[in-house]
Structure 1
Amino acid sequence: MAVALLILTATLAGCGNPAGTDGDLINGWFALPAASYAPPPAGTCLTGGVSAFEPSVVPLQAVDCAEPHAIEVVGTGTVPDAAAPPAWDSDPSRAAFAECDKAAAAYLGGDWRGGRLFPVFRVPLPAVWQAGGRQFLCGIAEAADDLFAPLERTGSVKGGLAQDRPLALTCVQLTGDDLDAKGFYGAVEAVKPVACDVPHDTEFVGAWTAPAGEYPNQLRLKELAGDACYLKIAQFLGISQTQLYQRADIYTFWTGLTASQWAIGDRTAHCFLNVSTKTPLRASIRNLGTKQLP
């Protein structure tokens, strides 16, 4: 009994406070800093997988712009506070995308729709949102051979649609199958931008924006875009729609107007004139009029 009491006394003595302390384990710690997030500033180049007008959670990594990269930041902004990040097809996302549209035009020196480019729009990922991040990111990518996937590049896109417009969309070469007897594709798989002095079968004539409203069914979408692009081709050639109708050597081709593109607030189609693969072009045919294809 005496030995047990001695051990208990020694143990209790060992549980006393060390010298210079008060036994309160929480009143002497510094508070942790508040979680924060800052998106990369305009001019930052990024790597990471993206597609035009598709929400993505793939992480993006900053790299030197002299190194191969897919995206360049053109601006940032802030979305309203909420319990979760805004959905792709929500009003806050559409409002933020509209801001990105303006930022891209200012950065490029022109509307990205006139270039071989597409916008990259990112709202904060859920983990960043939970940490307090409310900033969205606006980026621009150079388009590869389908105008909706990025082309890895070096250097900056800044000013790419100003002055000499080195990033302007001009002539393209289609790739596909099901060629008919006249040499026109029944199905197009890729749209590759090329210089107009390189043999090609298609030329960009302008962008068309559909009126606001619910996303049309595919038949109505083809009617709307087809009619609008047909008019743009006639204007590009410097002839009337009747005169264009009388030509059997120039067709209408357009891209864009996907459901996810429409959902974020962009209702743009790229309009092209298309000639037979049997008669490739080697120069622009703007203002060709009623003359034969060169």
Structure 2
Amino acid sequence: MASTVRWNANGETDVCSVYSLSDAYGRVGLSTSSLKGSLAGNAPKAMHCLDVNGTTDKDGWWDRLQALTPIDCAQPHEAEFVGTIQVGVGNAGPLPDDKVLHDWSSDACWAAVARFVGLTDAQLDSRPEMGITWDRFDKLQWESGERHQRCFALLSPGKKVRASIKGLGKGALPV
């Protein structure tokens, strides 16, 4: 809330708003109902499983991801949110180049996905149908001090599961 002095001097106020996102890349979605309580209990508005929209490379793996859209985990999906990591903590200055950000994020997200699935890093590496991705920083986020990346388990293009892969371990994918 704006201080009385600021309010009286400039007519300013501070506003804190809550938005629903339409995808994992922060695109604001439209909601026709209140978001109150939507992250409690089974968290109906939380990001869990995601439908992937992207292109594949010559080897058949994901090349460019255009959208990761939240979807009910009982519906066929190719990605799942596993958690957040911090990278570049204590690093000030300009946004690092893509290689530095990739190196920081790749190892930490790999470990987060492995833990989520219930595998070691090496065991995750032996599952060719599984990979990782994360969201990216832009210059404004970095300059504001944001150092969190969201990590996602990513399945091979066309390899859709119908349940969460949390704790799956070495088991078969729930297709």
- Residue 65 of structure 2 is matched in structure 1 by 188
Q: Does 1:154 align with 2:28?
A: no
Unaligned 5+ runs, structure 2: none
SS where residue 189 of structure 1 aligns?
strand
Matched, 1:293 2:170: no
- Letter of the 2:65 partner, please give it: V
* 1:224 match: secondary structure: helix
User: 1:142 is paired with a residue of what secondary structure?
Assistant: coil
Identical counterparts, % of pairs = 30
Unaligned runs of 5+ in 1: 1-75, 82-128
Q: 1:258 aligns with which of 138, 152, 165?
A: 138
Which structure ranks higher in relative contact order (CA pairs < 8 Å, sequence separation ≥ 6)?
A: 2
Matched-pair contact (CA < 8 Å) for 2:74–2:163 = yes
1:275 is the counterpart of 2:155: yes
Task: Determine which structure has more spread, i.e. the larger CA radius of gyration.
Answer: 1
Whole-Å separation in 1 of the counterparts to 2:105 and 2:158:
26
> Which of residues 236, 242, 246 in structure 1 aligns to 2:126?
246
Tell me, yes or no, if the aligned pair for 1:256 and 1:268 is still in contact at 8 Å. no
Letter in 2 for 1:253: T
Change (3 A) 1:163 1:146: closer
Deviation at 1:179, TM superposition (A): 4.2
Is 1:222 the counterpart of 2:108 in the alignment? no
Deviation at 1:145, TM superposition (A): 3.1
**What are the Cα deviations for residues 7-63 of structure 1, in whole angstroms up to 9, with x where unaligned?**
xxxxxxxxxxxxxxxxxxxxxxxxxxxxxxxxxxxxxxxxxxxxxxxxxxxxxxxxx
Please say if 1:208 is aligned against 2:101: no
Displacement after TM superposition at 1:260 (Å): 1.1
The two structures have a TM-score, normalised by structure 1, of 0.53
Give SS of 1:190's match. strand
> Does 2:15 align with 1:137?
yes
Aligned-partner Cα distance in 1 for 2:122–2:46: 29
Query: Residues 52-63 of structure 1 correspond to what in structure 2 (within 5 A)?
Result: none
Matches within 5 A, 1:121-136: 132-136=10-14
SS in 2 for 1:256: coil
Q: Aligned with 1:197: secondary structure? A: coil
Contact 2:24 2:135 in 1 (8 A): no
Would you say the 8 A contact 1:171–1:284 is kept in 2?
Answer: yes
Q: Name the CA distance, whole Å, in 2 between partners of 1:203 and 1:180.
A: 24
Q: Secondary structure of the equivalent of 1:269?
A: strand
2:114 & 2:22 partners in 1: Cα distance? 27
- Regions of 4+ moved over 4 Å: none
Shift of 1:231: 0.6
Q: Rate the CA distance shift 1:233–1:153 in 2: closer, same or farther, 3 A.
A: same
Q: What's the CA shift string for 1:106-138, capped at 9, x where partnerless?
A: xxxxxxxxxxxxxxxxxxxxxxx9961343221
Matched, 1:176 2:54: yes
Structure 1 CA distance for aligned equivalents of residues 17 and 31 of structure 2: 14
CA-based RMSD: 2.2
SS of residue paired to 1:155: coil
Instruction: Classify 1:133/1:265 alpha carbon distance in 2 versus 1 (closer, same or farther; 3 Å).
Output: farther
Alignment TM-score, normalising by the size of structure 2: 0.86
Q: 2: distance between equivalents of 1:242 and 1:181?
A: 22
